[in-house]
Amino acid sequence: MLEAYPDARPIHELYTPMSRRTHFPAASHAFLVRAALNLARVVTRLHGGGFVIGDLNHSSVLVLPNATVRIVDADSFPLPPDFVCRVGTPEYMPAELQDADLGSVRRLARHDVFALSVLIYQLLSGGRHPFAGYGGRPSANLADNIRRAKRYRLTEWQRKELSATLTDRQRSQAIKLFQNVFSRNPAHDESAGDWVAAFTAA
């Protein structure tokens, strides 16, 4: 798919500091926020058109040198009633999908919002996964941590990273979105548009 966008790189090469130095050497904090905003806008537009992405992950998002975002691998888009998304990337799936038979589960926009929030977290936290563990107790089993809603927490270092990247209001809204999306509280029903609103807050 990179052939169609020769100047684009997978999003993990932007959010991972080592590869960012190679592929996006001029990327600033503002560039990372712009890429996050553009990703949220793309997902919002797809959801507004009635589409669900299904398997949104670190390889299905491409970023161009101007922070424009492209979503590829559209063959994972579920198109009811005939096409069901049977694939998923565990570290980008919410708890309710971790043990599910993906071929029999209806994918919803909120599932995409979980994956979107993980990608945004990685963009703003130096590539760290929100469920990777903290306090010197890292875990290699991200899917299990997601399944049990364990180990998500914004550390003081991450809060400082957000402070360097976002305005006070943007940071406050982003922290609230992370907490709500990752909390498994059914009362919360965040959307991709909420991320757009957070990043464009004055």
Give catalytic residues, as residue numbers. 55
What values do phi and psi take at 80, rounded to 5? -60, 150
Dmax over CA atoms of the chain, in Å, equals: 47
Residues 6+ apart with CB under 8 A from 39: 11, 61, 69, 116, 119, 120
Per the document, the length of the chain is 202
Dist. CA 122–CA 109, nearest whole Å: 20
